[in-house]
Amino acid sequence: MAGRSGTGSGGRLFFNSEFMGTVISLFNHKGGVGKTTTTLNVGAGLVELGKRVLLIDLDPQANLTLSLGIPRERYTIYEAMCGESELVPYEAKPGLDIVISVLDLSGAEMELVNEPGREMILRELLEPVVNDYDYVLIDCPPSLGLLTMNALTASHYVLIPLQTEYLAVQGLSKIKQVVDKVRFRLNRSLQIGGVIATMYDSRKVLNNQIVDLIQKYFGDQVFRTMIRENVALAESPSKQKDIFSYQPASNGAEDYLALSREILTRFEDASVQTPST
């Protein structure tokens, strides 16, 4: 049931207001590590905990959009990024809105290449809607292109999902480097908000070794909750539901609820700064 929601916030300013939603990018340039699954189910977990959440599908693969079964509507993130519309959220379920994506978005990086301030577009688009939500979660594509730069420039925090397998740790220094560069050039208050171990299987020795390695590298930035490998999480996109609507008694639901609680504790204790150049 898609319908327009999340209308303007009466001119409160994204950059200066004390009362504003927290914007979080789910980022890892490596593919298939659980970014989309985590965006969807942390978003839904925060809704379970009484928060109002906006998801932004910033990936031309549109997996997040498809996972919620939102049909192609007239307005997507593509039109907004290209200056043809404002951000238009659709309601996925009460408390959970989404700005949908579409394959055309893959052309946006080329189309915007000569646009002045091209890394700031999403931040500006968020300004009139960010205060309608407690949390805005941005699902990044598996790349380091302009779309990802827009997500990081618009965010207070980056959450990094990491699959607990050998190759997962290969890109860690690159991730830190990119976040540092964006912080220096585009968004002074960007912080790594945490690292999430995904698809974890405690029976696999290798998984445990990788978790040790991640903890050595990121210290207490690693969330205590690890997302276990769980078949219901893999099935739920084909049912076009988040895990709490699909199988609320599954390990997947248990883990994502625990992670959402941990995120709330971590971020609501911290004083959130506004993105600023």
Ligand X SMILES: Nc1ncnc2c1ncn2[C@@H]1O[C@H](COP(=O)(O)OP(=O)(O)OP(=O)(O)O)[C@@H](O)[C@H]1O
Where along the sequence are the contacts to ligand X (CB under 6 A)? 31-37, 59, 61, 63, 142, 198-199, 227, 229-230, 233-234, 237
Nearer to ligand X, 33 or 88 (CB): 33
Residues 25-44 that bind Mg ion (CB under 5 A): 35-36
The verdict on 150 binding Mg ion (CB under 5 A) reads no
- Quick note: the x/- pattern for Mg ion over 51-70, rule CB under 5 A, is ------------x-------
Angle at 194 between CA 201 and CA 188, to 5 degrees: 155
Cβ-based neighbours of 235, under 8 Å, separated by 6 or more: 246
Q: Indicate which of ligand X, Mg ion, none lies near residue 187 (CB less than 5 to 8 Å, by partner kind).
A: none
From residue 245, alpha-carbon distances to 47, 68, 131, 233 in Å are 12, 11, 26, 11
Cβ 106 to ligand X shortest distance, Å: 13
Cβ 35 to Mg ion shortest distance, Å: 5
Nearer to ligand X, 225 or 230 (CB): 230
Nearest residue to 139 (alpha-carbon basis) of 64, 204, 228, 51? 64
Q: Indicate which of Mg ion, ligand X, none lies near residue 127 (CB less than 5 to 8 Å, by partner kind).
A: none
Nearer to Mg ion, 35 or 241 (CB): 35
Angle at 238 between CA 135 and CA 165, to 5 degrees: 70
Please answer whether residues 125 and 86 qualify as being in contact, where contact means their C-beta atoms are separated by less than 8 angstroms.
yes
Residue 120, both tokens: 């700031």
Q: Which residues bind Mg ion (CB under 5 A)?
A: 35-36, 63
